[in-house]
Amino acid sequence: MKTLLLALLATATPLAAQDYRQRLPQDEVIYFVLPDRFENGDTANDRGGLKGGPLTTGFDPTHKGFYHGGDLKGLTRRLDYIQGLGATAIWLGPIFKNKAVQGARGQESAGYHGYWITDFTTVDPHLGSEADLRAFITAAHGRGMKVYMDIIVNHTADVIQYRECAEGSPCPYRDRATYPYQRRGGVKGQPINAGFLGDDVQTAANFAKLTDPNYAYTPYVPAAEKNAKTPAWLNDPIYYHNRGNTSFEDESSTTGDFSGLDDLYTENPRVIAGMIDIYGSWIDRFGIDGFRIDTAKHVNPEFWRSFVPAMLARAQAKGIPNFHIFGEVTAGMDPGALARWTKIADYPAVLDFAFMNAVIQTVAENKPTRILSNLFEGDILYAKGEATADILPTFLGNHDHGRFARDVRVENPDASDDEILKRVELGHAMLLTLRGVPTVYSGDEQGFAGDGNDQDAREDMFASKVASYNDNKLVGTSKTTATDSFVTTHPLYREIATLARLRTANPALTRGRQVIRARGDAPGLFAVSRFDPATGREYVIAFNTSAKPLKQAVQVETASQRFATMAGACAPTAAAPGSLMLELPAFGYAVCAAESR
């Protein structure tokens, strides 16, 4: 169905071939991977150096919530596969040393995902060593590929306990008004922390007066975990909010424990300085190229206004001029909710959940294409307007939300396998040609669909032993996850690889201004033009979200009179000055490049 003008691609100079340090954030195609679920390069580290069963070591390859054995050596071994997909940057799920197992009795799971950190200064032994990380980064950089680390400042592993809460029982959030910092256990309690002026006065002198952490609950560290965390200052409860579990609303969103995890007191200057030291060290030691920041909206904005500039300065000093920082703001299903954080917290970029939502609505849920135009018309809301929108990592699904292919299947239960594949391909075409930084979640290129979100969307790329993964029906193939999934002939792998190379070979698709050309109040045509920033050459990108073929004229520049087909099928000439006739099959797309001026 799709063709490419290979001669044009052959004469272009891919951005990936240039000095990778000089590429801008929007020049990249990102591949996101959880190392434990990718490839097992060294079975000797499967148990992380621990002895015993799964509840001690965290290793159980048959359980979707435990370590499966993937590691940094395996990831390094598969760089050919990742680069073959057209990826120019790898977003590496957290690799810091984690608490191997946590959770109430009978509900335990493991830290395979990397978000339960105990030691912020080194690599989790389940994933390998610092030498393995350095070898991976060196190998990636040698290929001209960037490496982004996934980092966490909001919380640590669940170590601190509250005497008021029995094991496994909920610890509801206790707010500042009812449990002020200056009283022990509530308004009527014994005076403590005399002279402390509250969170808003973020000076060392003020926080020196906060010496008693027993204002809401009575926190304590079990004797066996007294020194569980590194750096050592993280073991002191005074550096945590200790107010119970967040409800994800109002003040608890930034000062409550995220699912029981120890919530760091990020208003405290000592915590700010400590986190700058921790993550600055990773830049200094390993020369990484950016940070994806977990749970960004659950940290007070003032923290980011100190942390982000410090990281950018550290990277600049290391000779990394285009260090990319993007935060996770999960509630941002519309541009306004996301844009707010680029202003109140000075975030350079955030993950574009609004893009994901718009593509799901139009491609999976059969809603009007006007939803896509509404998304892009909101770009002006970001801190630097369209310049910020250009560097937002866009995506279709992830390890928390779940897989895009599942969204398509759930919303179209009677669709044929071929239709499901075409819809999933259409979503990826949008991802790889529209503004933003396309981010592919590992496994999507193999047709992974999952059973839901979280653990149900974290399938193994190497041969899986998890029954609930292996019974999944994949998209575009009859195979299952019971055998390894590094198939370079899969139709989604081929499509992504082709479009990724088309994107990186043509600056209009990475850095080009985007203008909406067509949208509607039903499924059907959505079209934009993107313009080469140096030559002004116009690229018309069109999508058909309906189950019927369409033929429709779209406006183009009057100077754009002859067109080359870059993907799909394009009319060779304009129908009239300023008008290009498009013909698209059901769920089809096209990229049409005007002659250079």
Give the catalytic positions in this structure: 294, 328
What's CA 210's distance to the chain center, in Å? 36
Q: Are 539 and 553 within 8 A, CB to CB?
A: no
What's CA 77's distance to the chain center, in Å? 23
Phi-psi region of 195 (alpha: psi -120 to 50; beta: other; left: phi over 0): left
Amino acid type, 438: P
The strand pair at 101-102 and 109-110 is best described as antiparallel
The full 3-state SS of 4-43, as one line of letters, equals CCHHHHHHCCCHHHCCHHHCCHHHCCEEEECHHHCCCCCH
Burial class, 535, CB count within 10 angstroms (exposed 0-12 / middle 13-18 / buried 19+)? exposed
Q: How many other CB atoms are found less than 10 A from the CB of residue 109? A: 18
Question: Any bridge partners for residue 579, and if so which?
Answer: 555, 576
Q: How many other CB atoms are found less than 10 A from the CB of residue 214? A: 20
Give the pair of three-digit tokens for residue 521.
């109040």
Q: How many other CB atoms are found less than 10 A from the CB of residue 257? A: 24
Burial 175-213 (b: 16+ CB within 10 A, else e): bbeebbbbbbbeeeeeebbeebbebeebeeebbeebebb
Q: Are 121 and 281 within 8 A, CB to CB?
A: yes
What does the alpha-carbon distance between residue 189 and residue 220 come to, in Å, rounded to a whole number? 19
3-class DSSP state of 133: helix
What does the alpha-carbon distance between residue 92 and residue 290 come to, in Å, rounded to a whole number? 10
What does the alpha-carbon distance between residue 576 and residue 573 come to, in Å, rounded to a whole number? 8
Q: Which residues are within 8 A (CB) of 481 and not within 5 positions of it... i.e. 6 or more apart?
A: 448, 459, 460, 463, 464, 466, 469, 470, 472, 474
Compute the radius of gyration of the chain from its Cα atoms. Answer: 25
The candidate with the shortest Cα–Cα distance to 12, out of 361, 410, 535, is 535
Q: Are 580 and 574 within 8 A, CB to CB?
A: yes
**DSSP line for 270-318:** HHHHHHHHHHHHHHHHH---EEEETTGGGS-HHHHHHHHHHHHHHHHHT
Question: Any bridge partners for residue 584, and if so which?
Answer: 550
Q: Tokens 């001029």 — which residue? A: 321
What does the alpha-carbon distance between residue 563 and residue 595 come to, in Å, rounded to a whole number? 6
Q: Is the peptide bond prior to 231 cis by the omega test (within 30 degrees of 0)?
A: yes
Q: Tokens 């390894």 — which residue? A: 484
